[in-house]
């Protein structure tokens, strides 16, 4: 990946998730361009306020599962029917009921691994990824709204400062990440 240029970020820290939600709402009303909202735990009710559409990860989960299902069933059928047919005394060549357990397991296996790998990939998270940490307390008890101010003039920054003061941010900082 090409080296990503550093950004100048102005961020405010709130001490309660309800304050955060109110602040995000007023930022949206004021048409401020929020870069990211960072929280120590999943805050319910934040996504609609922030305008995040629902994750489509579960559709992928279904697709991966379907692939696993077809792969498991198809492979067993191919191995036993075509590649190396085994003649058991009078038993059917293609014993579908006894494929059910492995087909099911393959469905779950593909779905789980596929979804998890997709999750880490789309979030840009892997072992060795250097985290862009704004503040160490965001994984503890602070709720953060971050604005990208790399290209903003002083006036914009001042208005963002005013926004943070108005919405009750406990602290406001600027940081390059």
Shortest distance, CB of residue 31 to another protein, whole angstroms?
A: 18
**Cα separation of 164 and 168, whole Å?**
6
Q: Site for another protein (CB under 8 A): which residue of 46, 67, 70, 157?
A: 46
Backbone φ and ψ for 168, nearest 5 degrees, come out as 85, 30
CB closer to another protein, 6 vs 139: 139
**Residue 80 burial (CB count, 10 A):** 16
CB closer to another protein, 2 vs 154: 2
Question: Which residues sit at the interface with another protein, rule CB under 8 A?
Answer: 16-19, 22, 36-47, 50, 52, 54-55, 57-58, 61, 65, 75-76, 79-80, 83-84, 86, 88, 91, 95, 98-99, 101-102, 104-106, 108-109, 111-113, 115-116, 119-120, 122-134, 136-141
């Amino acid at each position: 990946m090409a080296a990503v240029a550093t950004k100048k970020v102005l961020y405010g820290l709130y001490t309660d998730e309800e304050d955060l939600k109110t602040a995000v709402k007023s930022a949206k009303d004021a048409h401020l361009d929020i870069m990211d909202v960072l929280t120590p735990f999943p805050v319910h009710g934040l996504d609609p306020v922030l305008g995040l559409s629902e994750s489509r990860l579960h559709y992928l989960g279904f697709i991966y599962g379907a692939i696993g299902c077809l792969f498991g069933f198809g492979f067993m059928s191919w191995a036993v029917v075509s590649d190396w047919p085994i003649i058991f005394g009078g038993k059917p060549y293609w014993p579908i009921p006894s494929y059910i357990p492995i087909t099911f397991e393959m469905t779950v296996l593909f779905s789980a691994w596929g979804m998890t790998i997709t999750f880490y990939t789309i979030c840009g998270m892997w072992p060795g990824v250097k985290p862009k940490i704004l503040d160490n307390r965001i994984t503890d008890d602070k709720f953060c709204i971050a604005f990208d101010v790399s290209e903003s003039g002083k006036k914009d920054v001042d208005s963002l400062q005013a926004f943070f003061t108005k919405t009750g941010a406990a602290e406001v900082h600027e940081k390059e990440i």
